[in-house]
Structure 1
Amino acid sequence: MKALKLIDKYLEEVITILLFSIIIVVGIEQVITRYLFSFVHSWSEELMRVCFVLLSLVGFSLCEKKLQHVRVEVIKLILPPRLLVAANVFSSAVFLIFCLLVTHYSVKITAMQFKSSQITAAMGLPTWTYFVFGPFFFGLMAFRIIQKEILPLFRPQKESRMM
Protein backbone atom coordinates (compact mmCIF):
# COMPACT_ATOMS: atom_id res chain seq x y z
CA MET A 1 0.00 0.00 0.00
CA LYS A 2 2.85 2.36 0.82
CA ALA A 3 4.46 1.60 -2.55
CA LEU A 4 1.23 2.52 -4.37
CA LYS A 5 1.10 5.83 -2.50
CA LEU A 6 4.70 6.57 -3.47
CA ILE A 7 3.97 5.72 -7.10
CA ASP A 8 0.85 7.88 -7.04
CA LYS A 9 2.73 10.77 -5.48
CA TYR A 10 5.97 10.69 -7.49
CA LEU A 11 5.44 8.75 -10.76
CA GLU A 12 5.33 11.74 -13.12
CA GLU A 13 8.10 13.55 -11.28
CA VAL A 14 10.47 10.56 -11.46
CA ILE A 15 9.76 10.03 -15.16
CA THR A 16 10.27 13.75 -15.82
CA ILE A 17 13.62 13.78 -14.01
CA LEU A 18 14.73 10.63 -15.83
CA LEU A 19 13.80 11.97 -19.28
CA PHE A 20 15.32 15.39 -18.62
CA SER A 21 18.52 13.74 -17.39
CA ILE A 22 18.76 11.63 -20.54
CA ILE A 23 18.28 14.70 -22.74
CA ILE A 24 20.92 16.69 -20.84
CA VAL A 25 23.52 13.90 -20.66
CA VAL A 26 23.12 12.89 -24.32
CA GLY A 27 23.08 16.54 -25.43
CA ILE A 28 26.28 17.36 -23.52
CA GLU A 29 27.92 14.19 -24.82
CA GLN A 30 26.93 15.12 -28.36
CA VAL A 31 28.41 18.62 -28.05
CA ILE A 32 31.66 17.28 -26.58
CA THR A 33 32.13 14.58 -29.22
CA ARG A 34 31.20 16.93 -32.05
CA TYR A 35 33.51 19.81 -31.16
CA LEU A 36 36.39 18.04 -29.45
CA PHE A 37 36.56 14.81 -31.45
CA SER A 38 34.78 15.78 -34.69
CA PHE A 39 32.60 12.73 -34.30
CA VAL A 40 28.81 12.51 -34.32
CA HIS A 41 26.62 9.70 -33.01
CA SER A 42 23.71 9.09 -35.33
CA TRP A 43 21.41 7.93 -32.55
CA SER A 44 21.72 10.88 -30.16
CA GLU A 45 19.39 13.30 -31.93
CA GLU A 46 16.72 10.63 -32.33
CA LEU A 47 16.95 9.64 -28.67
CA MET A 48 16.72 13.25 -27.49
CA ARG A 49 13.74 13.90 -29.78
CA VAL A 50 11.87 10.86 -28.47
CA CYS A 51 12.66 11.81 -24.87
CA PHE A 52 11.41 15.35 -25.52
CA VAL A 53 8.10 14.06 -26.90
CA LEU A 54 7.73 11.70 -23.93
CA LEU A 55 8.60 14.57 -21.60
CA SER A 56 5.76 16.58 -23.13
CA LEU A 57 3.32 13.71 -22.66
CA VAL A 58 4.28 13.12 -19.04
CA GLY A 59 4.12 16.88 -18.49
CA PHE A 60 0.45 16.87 -19.48
CA SER A 61 -0.24 14.26 -16.83
CA LEU A 62 1.86 16.10 -14.25
CA CYS A 63 -0.06 19.33 -14.86
CA GLU A 64 -3.34 17.47 -14.42
CA LYS A 65 -2.10 15.84 -11.22
CA LYS A 66 -1.17 19.22 -9.76
CA LEU A 67 -4.25 20.90 -11.28
CA GLN A 68 -2.03 23.43 -13.05
CA HIS A 69 -3.07 22.90 -16.64
CA VAL A 70 -4.30 25.74 -18.81
CA ARG A 71 -7.81 26.95 -18.09
CA VAL A 72 -9.81 29.99 -19.01
CA GLU A 73 -9.75 31.80 -15.67
CA VAL A 74 -11.98 34.70 -16.73
CA ILE A 75 -14.99 32.37 -16.49
CA LYS A 76 -14.45 32.19 -12.71
CA LEU A 77 -15.13 35.92 -12.52
CA ILE A 78 -18.24 35.86 -14.66
CA LEU A 79 -20.17 32.74 -13.66
CA PRO A 80 -22.05 32.28 -10.41
CA PRO A 81 -20.76 29.42 -8.22
CA ARG A 82 -23.34 26.83 -9.30
CA LEU A 83 -22.76 27.46 -12.99
CA LEU A 84 -19.02 27.46 -12.39
CA VAL A 85 -19.23 23.96 -10.91
CA ALA A 86 -21.30 22.82 -13.89
CA ALA A 87 -18.80 24.37 -16.32
CA ASN A 88 -15.92 22.65 -14.53
CA VAL A 89 -17.73 19.30 -14.61
CA PHE A 90 -18.41 19.77 -18.32
CA SER A 91 -14.79 20.73 -19.11
CA SER A 92 -13.46 17.80 -17.06
CA ALA A 93 -15.79 15.39 -18.87
CA VAL A 94 -14.79 16.72 -22.29
CA PHE A 95 -11.09 16.51 -21.37
CA LEU A 96 -11.58 12.94 -20.10
CA ILE A 97 -13.40 11.90 -23.28
CA PHE A 98 -10.61 13.46 -25.36
CA CYS A 99 -7.93 11.55 -23.42
CA LEU A 100 -9.84 8.29 -23.72
CA LEU A 101 -10.28 8.79 -27.47
CA VAL A 102 -6.58 9.56 -27.94
CA THR A 103 -5.72 6.51 -25.84
CA HIS A 104 -8.01 4.33 -27.94
CA TYR A 105 -6.64 5.52 -31.28
CA SER A 106 -3.03 5.49 -30.11
CA VAL A 107 -3.48 1.81 -29.21
CA LYS A 108 -4.66 1.21 -32.78
CA ILE A 109 -1.71 3.15 -34.21
CA THR A 110 0.71 1.25 -31.99
CA ALA A 111 -0.77 -2.05 -33.20
CA MET A 112 -0.36 -0.93 -36.82
CA GLN A 113 3.27 -0.01 -36.13
CA PHE A 114 3.82 -3.40 -34.53
CA LYS A 115 2.39 -5.19 -37.57
CA SER A 116 4.43 -3.11 -40.02
CA SER A 117 7.79 -4.16 -38.49
CA GLN A 118 9.15 -0.69 -39.31
CA ILE A 119 12.37 0.33 -37.56
CA THR A 120 13.79 3.75 -36.75
CA ALA A 121 16.48 5.22 -38.95
CA ALA A 122 19.23 5.97 -36.45
CA MET A 123 18.77 3.56 -33.57
CA GLY A 124 17.29 0.63 -35.47
CA LEU A 125 14.56 0.02 -32.91
CA PRO A 126 11.04 -1.03 -33.85
CA THR A 127 8.85 2.08 -34.10
CA TRP A 128 6.13 0.53 -31.96
CA THR A 129 8.47 0.80 -28.96
CA TYR A 130 8.08 4.60 -29.15
CA PHE A 131 4.38 4.56 -29.98
CA VAL A 132 3.54 2.39 -26.95
CA PHE A 133 4.13 5.39 -24.67
CA GLY A 134 1.18 7.28 -26.20
CA PRO A 135 -1.52 4.99 -24.79
CA PHE A 136 0.34 4.78 -21.49
CA PHE A 137 0.67 8.52 -20.91
CA PHE A 138 -2.79 9.46 -22.22
CA GLY A 139 -4.26 6.66 -20.09
CA LEU A 140 -2.34 8.06 -17.12
CA MET A 141 -3.75 11.50 -17.89
CA ALA A 142 -7.29 10.08 -18.03
CA PHE A 143 -6.64 8.42 -14.66
CA ARG A 144 -5.46 11.76 -13.21
CA ILE A 145 -8.55 13.55 -14.54
CA ILE A 146 -10.76 10.99 -12.82
CA GLN A 147 -8.65 11.10 -9.66
CA LYS A 148 -8.28 14.87 -9.35
CA GLU A 149 -11.40 16.30 -10.98
CA ILE A 150 -14.20 13.72 -11.19
CA LEU A 151 -13.91 11.77 -7.90
CA PRO A 152 -13.71 14.90 -5.69
CA LEU A 153 -17.18 15.84 -6.93
CA PHE A 154 -18.59 12.78 -5.16
CA ARG A 155 -16.82 13.42 -1.86
CA PRO A 156 -18.38 15.81 0.61
CA GLN A 157 -16.18 18.86 1.15
CA LYS A 158 -16.50 22.10 3.07
CA GLU A 159 -15.30 24.16 0.13
CA SER A 160 -15.32 23.01 -3.48
CA ARG A 161 -11.89 22.65 -5.10
CA MET A 162 -13.19 23.88 -8.43
CA MET A 163 -14.12 27.37 -7.25
Structure 2
Amino acid sequence: MKVLAWFDEYAEISICVVLMSAMTLLLAVQVFMRYVMGESLSWSEELGRYFFIWLIYLGISYGAREMRHIKIDAALKLFPRPARPWVVILGDVLFLVFDLYVVWTSWTVIERQMMLGQTSPAIGVPMWIVYAAPCVGFALTTARQVQSICWRIKHPDAAHESEV
Protein backbone atom coordinates (compact mmCIF):
# COMPACT_ATOMS: atom_id res chain seq x y z
CA MET A 1 0.00 0.00 0.00
CA LYS A 2 2.87 2.38 0.67
CA VAL A 3 4.12 1.94 -2.89
CA LEU A 4 0.67 2.73 -4.23
CA ALA A 5 0.40 5.79 -1.99
CA TRP A 6 3.84 7.00 -3.13
CA PHE A 7 2.89 6.42 -6.76
CA ASP A 8 -0.35 8.36 -6.28
CA GLU A 9 1.47 11.24 -4.64
CA TYR A 10 4.75 11.53 -6.52
CA ALA A 11 4.74 9.52 -9.78
CA GLU A 12 4.20 12.22 -12.37
CA ILE A 13 6.26 14.93 -10.69
CA SER A 14 9.20 12.55 -10.12
CA ILE A 15 9.23 11.42 -13.75
CA CYS A 16 8.83 15.02 -14.95
CA VAL A 17 11.79 16.16 -12.82
CA VAL A 18 13.95 13.34 -14.21
CA LEU A 19 12.91 14.10 -17.80
CA MET A 20 13.46 17.85 -17.39
CA SER A 21 16.86 17.30 -15.77
CA ALA A 22 17.96 14.81 -18.41
CA MET A 23 16.75 17.07 -21.21
CA THR A 24 18.54 20.10 -19.75
CA LEU A 25 21.77 18.20 -19.21
CA LEU A 26 21.61 16.63 -22.66
CA LEU A 27 21.05 19.95 -24.41
CA ALA A 28 23.75 21.64 -22.31
CA VAL A 29 26.19 18.95 -23.45
CA GLN A 30 25.06 19.55 -27.04
CA VAL A 31 25.69 23.29 -26.72
CA PHE A 32 29.12 22.61 -25.20
CA MET A 33 29.99 20.16 -27.95
CA ARG A 34 28.84 22.46 -30.73
CA TYR A 35 30.31 25.78 -29.57
CA VAL A 36 33.32 24.74 -27.50
CA MET A 37 34.46 21.50 -29.08
CA GLY A 38 33.37 22.38 -32.62
CA GLU A 39 31.58 19.05 -33.05
CA SER A 40 27.90 18.25 -32.86
CA LEU A 41 26.16 15.21 -31.43
CA SER A 42 23.81 13.87 -34.08
CA TRP A 43 21.36 12.31 -31.64
CA SER A 44 21.09 14.76 -28.73
CA GLU A 45 18.49 17.13 -30.15
CA GLU A 46 16.24 14.26 -31.19
CA LEU A 47 16.45 12.61 -27.78
CA GLY A 48 15.88 15.96 -26.08
CA ARG A 49 12.79 16.47 -28.22
CA TYR A 50 11.44 13.06 -27.21
CA PHE A 51 12.10 13.78 -23.53
CA PHE A 52 10.20 17.06 -23.95
CA ILE A 53 7.23 15.33 -25.59
CA TRP A 54 6.96 12.84 -22.74
CA LEU A 55 7.45 15.64 -20.19
CA ILE A 56 4.51 17.60 -21.62
CA TYR A 57 2.08 14.69 -21.61
CA LEU A 58 3.02 13.56 -18.12
CA GLY A 59 2.79 17.18 -17.00
CA ILE A 60 -0.84 17.26 -18.12
CA SER A 61 -1.53 14.39 -15.73
CA TYR A 62 0.27 16.21 -12.91
CA GLY A 63 -1.79 19.34 -13.57
CA ALA A 64 -4.96 17.25 -13.40
CA ARG A 65 -3.80 15.71 -10.13
CA GLU A 66 -3.24 19.14 -8.63
CA MET A 67 -6.52 20.44 -10.14
CA ARG A 68 -4.59 23.34 -11.66
CA HIS A 69 -5.57 23.31 -15.32
CA ILE A 70 -6.57 26.57 -16.94
CA LYS A 71 -10.19 27.54 -16.48
CA ILE A 72 -12.22 30.56 -17.43
CA ASP A 73 -13.12 31.95 -14.02
CA ALA A 74 -15.09 34.87 -15.42
CA ALA A 75 -17.57 32.49 -17.07
CA LEU A 76 -17.94 30.58 -13.81
CA LYS A 77 -19.03 33.79 -12.07
CA LEU A 78 -22.04 33.98 -14.41
CA PHE A 79 -23.61 31.04 -12.57
CA PRO A 80 -25.33 31.30 -9.18
CA ARG A 81 -22.96 30.57 -6.30
CA PRO A 82 -24.65 27.26 -5.28
CA ALA A 83 -24.33 25.93 -8.86
CA ARG A 84 -20.66 26.83 -9.33
CA PRO A 85 -19.15 23.67 -7.78
CA TRP A 86 -21.36 21.56 -10.07
CA VAL A 87 -20.35 23.60 -13.10
CA VAL A 88 -16.70 22.88 -12.20
CA ILE A 89 -17.54 19.17 -11.95
CA LEU A 90 -19.24 19.35 -15.35
CA GLY A 91 -16.05 20.90 -16.74
CA ASP A 92 -14.04 18.05 -15.23
CA VAL A 93 -16.40 15.50 -16.77
CA LEU A 94 -15.99 17.15 -20.19
CA PHE A 95 -12.22 17.06 -19.73
CA LEU A 96 -12.54 13.36 -18.83
CA VAL A 97 -14.44 12.70 -22.05
CA PHE A 98 -11.69 14.50 -23.99
CA ASP A 99 -9.05 12.41 -22.16
CA LEU A 100 -10.78 9.20 -23.19
CA TYR A 101 -11.02 10.39 -26.79
CA VAL A 102 -7.29 11.15 -26.92
CA VAL A 103 -6.43 7.76 -25.38
CA TRP A 104 -8.62 6.00 -27.95
CA THR A 105 -7.28 7.87 -30.98
CA SER A 106 -3.66 7.78 -29.87
CA TRP A 107 -3.92 4.03 -29.34
CA THR A 108 -4.84 3.61 -33.01
CA VAL A 109 -1.78 5.66 -33.96
CA ILE A 110 0.43 3.47 -31.76
CA GLU A 111 -0.94 0.33 -33.37
CA ARG A 112 -0.26 1.75 -36.83
CA GLN A 113 3.29 2.70 -35.86
CA MET A 114 3.91 -0.78 -34.49
CA MET A 115 2.70 -2.31 -37.77
CA LEU A 116 4.89 0.01 -39.85
CA GLY A 117 7.98 -0.52 -37.70
CA GLN A 118 9.21 3.05 -38.25
CA THR A 119 12.25 4.14 -36.24
CA SER A 120 13.60 7.58 -35.47
CA PRO A 121 16.35 8.83 -37.80
CA ALA A 122 19.20 9.55 -35.37
CA ILE A 123 18.84 7.13 -32.47
CA GLY A 124 16.74 4.39 -34.04
CA VAL A 125 14.13 4.21 -31.30
CA PRO A 126 10.82 2.72 -32.46
CA MET A 127 8.48 5.62 -33.19
CA TRP A 128 5.59 3.94 -31.42
CA ILE A 129 7.39 4.73 -28.15
CA VAL A 130 7.32 8.43 -29.01
CA TYR A 131 3.70 8.22 -30.18
CA ALA A 132 2.77 6.45 -26.93
CA ALA A 133 3.32 9.66 -24.93
CA PRO A 134 -0.19 11.07 -25.54
CA CYS A 135 -1.79 7.69 -24.82
CA VAL A 136 0.09 7.18 -21.54
CA GLY A 137 -0.20 10.81 -20.48
CA PHE A 138 -3.92 11.03 -21.11
CA ALA A 139 -4.55 7.58 -19.59
CA LEU A 140 -2.93 8.86 -16.40
CA THR A 141 -4.90 12.10 -16.77
CA THR A 142 -8.09 10.04 -17.03
CA ALA A 143 -7.31 8.41 -13.70
CA ARG A 144 -6.50 11.79 -12.17
CA GLN A 145 -9.73 13.29 -13.52
CA VAL A 146 -11.76 10.48 -11.98
CA GLN A 147 -10.01 11.15 -8.65
CA SER A 148 -10.70 14.87 -9.03
CA ILE A 149 -14.38 14.38 -9.87
CA CYS A 150 -14.86 12.02 -6.92
CA TRP A 151 -13.14 14.48 -4.58
CA ARG A 152 -15.21 17.41 -5.85
CA ILE A 153 -18.46 15.45 -5.47
CA LYS A 154 -17.56 14.51 -1.87
CA HIS A 155 -16.40 18.07 -1.04
CA PRO A 156 -18.53 20.48 -3.15
CA ASP A 157 -18.02 23.32 -0.66
CA ALA A 158 -14.24 22.84 -0.47
CA ALA A 159 -13.56 23.98 -4.03
CA HIS A 160 -10.83 26.52 -4.58
CA GLU A 161 -11.88 30.11 -3.92
CA SER A 162 -11.15 31.12 -7.51
CA GLU A 163 -13.61 28.47 -8.73
CA VAL A 164 -16.62 29.46 -6.65
Equivalence for 1:92: 92
Quick one: percent identity of the two aligned structures?
27
Equivalence for 1:152: 151
TM-score (norm 1): 0.92
Equivalent residues of 1:33, 1:40 under 8 A apart: yes
Alignment pair present for 1:2 and 2:2: yes
Alignment pair present for 1:73 and 2:93: no
Equivalence for 1:39: 39
Q: Are residues 134 and 158 of structure 1, via their aligned partners in 2, closer, same or farther at CA, if it must alter by over 3 Å?
A: closer
Amino acid at match of 1:30: Q
Equivalent residues of 2:63, 2:69 under 8 A apart: yes
Structure 2: tracts of 5 or more residues without a match: none
Distance in 1, matches of 2:81 and 2:106, equals: 37
Equivalent residues of 2:53, 2:133 under 8 A apart: no
Q: Are residues 16 and 158 of structure 1, via their aligned partners in 2, closer, same or farther at CA, if it must alter by over 3 Å?
A: closer
| Correspondence list, 1:54-65, <5 A | 54-65=54-65
Q: CA deviation at 1:139?
A: 0.4
Equivalence for 2:15: 15
| Correspondence list, 1:68-147, <5 A | 68-147=68-147
Greater length-normalized contact order (CA 8 Å, ≥ 6 residues apart): 2
Distance in 2, matches of 1:81 and 1:21, equals: 43
Q: Are residues 102 and 118 of structure 1, via their aligned partners in 2, closer, same or farther at CA, if it must alter by over 3 Å?
A: same
Structure 1: tracts of 5 or more residues without a match: none
Equivalence for 2:52: 52
Number of matched residues?
161
